[in-house]
Structure 1
Amino acid sequence: MRMRGRIGLLGAIGAAVTAPLAVWAWPDKAPVTVATDLRERDPRATPAARRVYAMLAGLENDARHGRPSRTVIGQHVELQNERYNPQYGDYHGIKQPGYYYRKAKDITGRLPGFVELDLGPGYGQPGWAVGESRSYSRSWPSCRRMWGYVDDAVDLALGVWAGLPRSDDGSYHPSGSHWDCASGTEVSLPHNGGGPAGIVGFSFHQPYPGSPVKGFAQTQQRNSPAAHDPGWFARVITPGTSEHQDLLHDLDFLADHLGYLADHGVPVLLRPYHEMNTKPGHGFWWSGQDPDHFRQLWRVTYDHLVGRRGLHNLIFVWAPNSWDGSYGREPRPYYPGDRYVDVVGVDDYSGSPTEPFGAGAWTEIWYRGLEQYGKPRIVAESFHVPLNAARPDTLDRTPWVLWTVWGQALSYDNASSPQKKNTGADVQRTYWSPKVISGGNWAHSVTNRH
């Protein structure tokens, strides 16, 4: 990554570990301090995870202290749709994995500074599975139809952090391609210059625990046992129940793949159970639940991944839906606590650049609302790039640490919803702004940082 007019992000990551805490407050509030050492949450946090978190916290402290700050521009990549859904995106046809990671560079000449991938939800197939047999995935059926994208997600994450193409990632050849064992087709990861290019994250659109089929439909509350069994969610979080064992089984699938990245020194921003504050009966199976039960779900997940499975490469991201009072409710009751969260964010679909929700600048209501948590603040999902013709000053008023555009929304022209469209000029304006950190080759020494 690079920062125009200032040191690159590599330098920022290195400097941030030892940077002093910055104190800042709005005029009518007590000072707020954002800690920069991840070991306050996880004493065993890996050096790479510490550096990434310290960089994010440093950007947050710059903004709070009134110093010039920057926003890492991110892109969510829906690999399952890119690989298996010909109707997905800005042209009809099957796409190679990482299409929307590469698309930003096609438009601007620059890569995203952050890429978020997904190990769920699956693609309507029975049981958890993977595409290739690997040491970390022997517990899961391999060479299964519609599951190769999971391997691609892990490989792309490693490649974004350490460089693509990489011949030692899975079964990929030096060209960056391999043969998918289930379909017999050639699959290619995008080239990003051969060197470290950015930071990575994972979401987990987890189908409800115990679901026989893994797909997006099974993530929805209306299709889960929660829709007709008011006691089901409580059993999921209660040790000793079969529902709880189903939950741990799902978390082991997540942990096995994240563990491979941990073994290769890759820090991961993990964003589980997002949009938990949607009103009851809507959203995901974990949404709209009793807040106490949700907080327990988060802590069970944390304890399993960090305590039982020993994953210390994780930076935990808590991201409610925009709390507009209708679809999204006030999220504070769902906050798991500082001991379990490193970064706070918002999935913002309640407003648009032309019709922002609430008073102030576009996204300002969420930016101010998240200030109370004393954590780095991000836009975890948005259809829009932050800088566009309608709102070219967004990052002046709301200098988010990170801003992630959702999948195909980067370039998809939705004629029925023109407010969701990013023009090429919008994307160019964002990626070339001095306020934005994009991706690219880092110094060679970065490959030895883990």
Structure 2
Amino acid sequence: MRGRIGLLGAAAGAALLAPLGMWAWREETDGRPGGPALVPTDLRTRDPEATLAARRVYALLAGLENDARRGRPSRTVIGQHVELHNERYNPGYGDYRGTKQPGYYYRKARDITGRLPGFVELDLGPGYDRPGWAVGESRSYSRAWPSCRPRWGYTEDAVDLAVGVWAGLPRPADGSYRPTGSHTDCADGTEVSLPRGDGGPAGIVGFSFHQPYPGSPVKGFAQTLHRNSPGAREPDWFTRVVTPGSAEHGHLLQDLAFLADHLGYLAERGVPVLLRPYHEMNTAPGRGFWWAGQDPAAFRRLWRLTYDYLVHRRGLHNLVFVWAPNSWEGAYAREPRDYYPGGRYVDVVGVDDYSDAPAKPFGTGAWTEVWYRGLEPYRKPRVIAESFHVPLNSARPDTLTRTPWVLWTVWGQALSYENLSEPRHKNSDADVKRTYGSPKVITAGDFVNV
């Protein structure tokens, strides 16, 4: 790929209330004997009803992947995960003490480099230690859920920010992304504001879902962990979760309805979403999340029934499914192949890499190379789904040459904050600038509005 990525037009229709950013990618095959094993470039091989916007986002990622497999110059979309619940309600979170405006770490990249990320991932779970699923204000999708509860406004911020980032900030043409960028939180009366884009580069958006265990009376991070779930005490609990007709399965469907309602709001506005559910499923039994370390067949069943619910029952065809195991270093997490749901249910493969650092790579290859090579046989676009580090830094300036991931997402506060009180987890401003200024990296400024 050369130069900037153009937006090819505006989508019509009442549901799409602003220009729709889309990318074209020339379909190519490589039929040479012994040639590289290329990835499919048409999302319709997985979902025949996939929206045009979702198809073009996927084609962009697939095209980058195929360039890398051919040995051609490729580029990497730089991403930033945003923990809106922590930014809004946790004064101890991040690089200064005090609550932050939603989207603080999305905007932080621009504060350091003058550029916004090309991808932002948001989270609808886990909630913030409050009873039951709730939302901050009444909307078409929130009628089934209690409204205006304290510490639930971040769910609206998540969908609003996703709508705004996809089409370009600010969003004066669409009431869902507030024209002023600010609003009064209905639960506590405080004034909050979403980040503005100074005229608006567009970008790609994604969602993760740190889902508290099905049936959890309180929604918070503690309830996402296996050790706090019924599965820690009842060996057959997870089996009941994936068995239709059980009470636990009913609780699962309620959680998925909450997720689907929010994703449906985005679908109505033409926003494609990289959805990354049930990540780090390959951690050792008893560690990690309630869905992790389970019998692989049962996990595959969980993924497939979630897929069926979202795509077939709820008709969400704006989704690009991302499967992201934990880095399988052998102690905390295991080799993930048995947990792979199958190519019919997955579009992108990735890794949450917390096992190594730029100055101390895991294995004998380059930093992240063991995971990059390990994901190659899946024949899907490969991404770093979570990392504390930006890819280009003083310790490893050649990372994207050795391992040209198509997308690389920095986790939350790690962009500018020393995680776990360990200096090796800190990104210097120089490293962030090196990454965002590299011609190998796609930032929001590379998406050009028309």
TM-score normalised to structure 2 length = 0.94
Question: 1:195, 1:441 within 8 Å by CA — same for their partners in 2?
Answer: no
Instruction: Measure how far apart 1:197 and its partner are.
Output: 1.8
Aligned to 1:207: 212
Aligned to 2:95: 90
Aligned to 2:4: 7
Instruction: Measure how far apart 1:372 and its partner are.
Output: 0.5
Q: Secondary structure at the match of 1:15?
A: coil
Q: Secondary structure at the match of 1:187?
A: strand
Question: 1:48, 1:266 within 8 Å by CA — same for their partners in 2?
Answer: yes
Instruction: Measure how far apart 1:23 and its partner are.
Output: 6.3
Question: 2:279, 2:325 within 8 Å by CA — same for their partners in 1?
Answer: yes
* Bigger shift: residues 257-266 or 195-204: 195-204
- 1:257-307 Cα shifts (integer Å, max 9, x gaps): 000000000000000000000000000000000000000000010000000
Aligned length: 438
- 18, 28, 42: which one pairs with 1:20? 28
Aligned to 2:278: 273
Q: Secondary structure at the match of 2:321?
A: strand
Instruction: Measure how far apart 1:175 and its partner are.
Output: 1.5
- 1:416-443 Cα shifts (integer Å, max 9, x gaps): 3011010000000000001000113744
For the pair 1:290 / 2:295, whether they are aligned, the reply is yes
- 1:94-130 Cα shifts (integer Å, max 9, x gaps): 1000000000000000000000000000000000000
Mapping for residues 368-379 of structure 1, pairs under 5 Å: 368-379=373-384
Aligned to 1:246: 251
Aligned to 2:328: 323
Equivalents in 1 of 2:172, 2:446: separation in Å? 18
For the pair 1:139 / 2:136, whether they are aligned, the reply is no
Question: 2:351, 2:385 within 8 Å by CA — same for their partners in 1?
Answer: yes
Instruction: Measure how far apart 1:173 and its partner are.
Output: 4.2
Question: 1:24, 1:32 within 8 Å by CA — same for their partners in 2?
Answer: no
Which structure 1 residue ranges, 5 or more long, are not aligned?
Answer: 446-450
1:20 aligned partner, one-letter code = E
Q: 1:317 to 1:415 in 2, by over 3 A?
A: closer
For the pair 1:127 / 2:155, whether they are aligned, the reply is no
Equivalents in 1 of 2:75, 2:141: separation in Å? 37
Aligned to 2:69: 64
Question: 2:30, 2:36 within 8 Å by CA — same for their partners in 1?
Answer: no
Question: 1:24, 1:64 within 8 Å by CA — same for their partners in 2?
Answer: no
For the pair 1:81 / 2:80, whether they are aligned, the reply is no
Instruction: Measure how far apart 1:169 and its partner are.
Output: 5.0
Which structure 2 residue ranges, 5 or more long, are not aligned?
Answer: 9-20
Question: 1:167, 1:176 within 8 Å by CA — same for their partners in 2?
Answer: no
Q: 1:24 to 1:398 in 2, by over 3 A?
A: farther
Question: 2:206, 2:275 within 8 Å by CA — same for their partners in 1?
Answer: yes
Aligned to 1:229: 234
Equivalents in 2 of 1:350, 1:386: separation in Å? 15
For the pair 1:110 / 2:110, whether they are aligned, the reply is no
Q: Secondary structure at the match of 2:385?
A: strand
Q: Secondary structure at the match of 1:14?
A: coil
- 294, 305, 311: which one pairs with 2:316? 311
Equivalents in 2 of 1:229, 1:170: separation in Å? 47
Question: 1:23, 1:33 within 8 Å by CA — same for their partners in 2?
Answer: no
Residue identity over aligned pairs, in percent, reads 75
Instruction: Measure how far apart 1:167 and its partner are.
Output: 4.3
1:379 aligned partner, one-letter code = I
Question: 1:207, 1:216 within 8 Å by CA — same for their partners in 2?
Answer: yes
- 1:217-260 Cα shifts (integer Å, max 9, x gaps): 00000000010000100000000011001000000000000000
Question: 2:213, 2:229 within 8 Å by CA — same for their partners in 1?
Answer: yes
Q: 1:42 to 1:382 in 2, by over 3 A?
A: same
Question: 2:202, 2:449 within 8 Å by CA — same for their partners in 1?
Answer: no
Question: 2:36, 2:70 within 8 Å by CA — same for their partners in 1?
Answer: no
Q: Secondary structure at the match of 2:23?
A: helix
Instruction: Measure how far apart 1:168 and its partner are.
Output: 5.7
Instruction: Measure how far apart 1:187 and its partner are.
Output: 1.0
Equivalents in 2 of 1:177, 1:78: separation in Å? 18
Question: 1:24, 1:33 within 8 Å by CA — same for their partners in 2?
Answer: no
Equivalents in 1 of 2:375, 2:65: separation in Å? 12
Equivalents in 2 of 1:232, 1:265: separation in Å? 38
Instruction: Measure how far apart 1:192 and its partner are.
Output: 1.1
Q: Secondary structure at the match of 1:32?
A: coil
1:284 aligned partner, one-letter code = F
1:101 aligned partner, one-letter code = Y
Q: Secondary structure at the match of 2:445?
A: coil
For the pair 1:365 / 2:370, whether they are aligned, the reply is yes
- 1:311-352 Cα shifts (integer Å, max 9, x gaps): 000000000000000001010000000000000000000000
Mapping for residues 371-450 of structure 1, pairs under 5 Å: 371-414=376-419, 416-440=421-445, 442-445=447-450
Q: Secondary structure at the match of 2:274?
A: strand
Aligned to 1:448: none
Q: Secondary structure at the match of 1:340?
A: coil
Instruction: Measure how far apart 1:19 and its partner are.
Output: 2.0
